[in-house]
Amino acid sequence: DVKVTQSSRYLVKRTGEKVFLECVQDMDHENMFWYRQDPGLGLRLIYFSYDVKMKEKGDIPEGYSVSREKKERFSLILESASTNQTSMYLCASSSATLEGTDTQYFGPGTRLTVL
């Protein structure tokens, strides 16, 4: 069964802290994504990666960075957390095959609160 896991369901951090959100998929997918979900705004793409060590900016990359050292793992990094980064963060993955790229599989999400 397809599975995307995220390291924490809930996280509370203080302003200025460096925050790591981890995502692991077990489907051997090439593509991985980080979104944030906010009420009234839907999901917005932060960063994505189509291969190990490759990364591309999404729609709202400011204040974030990512790391993909292994195919199955994609990390989102908040270099210096701010209160406006309080949000639900969702990781997703998809296959790079022509038929598979359309469908993204999502993790359960990490609800991050920055105080």
Partner 1 sequence: GDSVTQMEGPVTLSEEAFLTINCTYTATGYPSLFWYVQYPGEGLQLLLKATKADDKGSNKGFEATYRKETTSFHLEKGSVQVSDSAVYFCALSLSGGGADGLTFGKGTHLIIQP
Considering only residues 8, 67, 101, 113, which one is a binding residue for partner 1 as defined by CB under 8 A?
Answer: 101
DSSP 83: G
Number of residues that bind partner 1 (CB under 8 A): 29
Site stretch for partner 1 (CB under 8 A), options 14-22, 60-68, 69-77, 95-103: 95-103
Dmax (CA) for the chain in angstroms is: 43
Q: Is 54 in the site for partner 1 (CB under 8 A)?
A: no
Rg over alpha carbons for the chain, rounded to the nearest Å, is 13
The rounded distance, in Å, linking the Cα atoms of 36 and 21 is 12
Considering only residues 33, 36, 64, 81, which one is a binding residue for partner 1 as defined by CB under 8 A?
Answer: 33
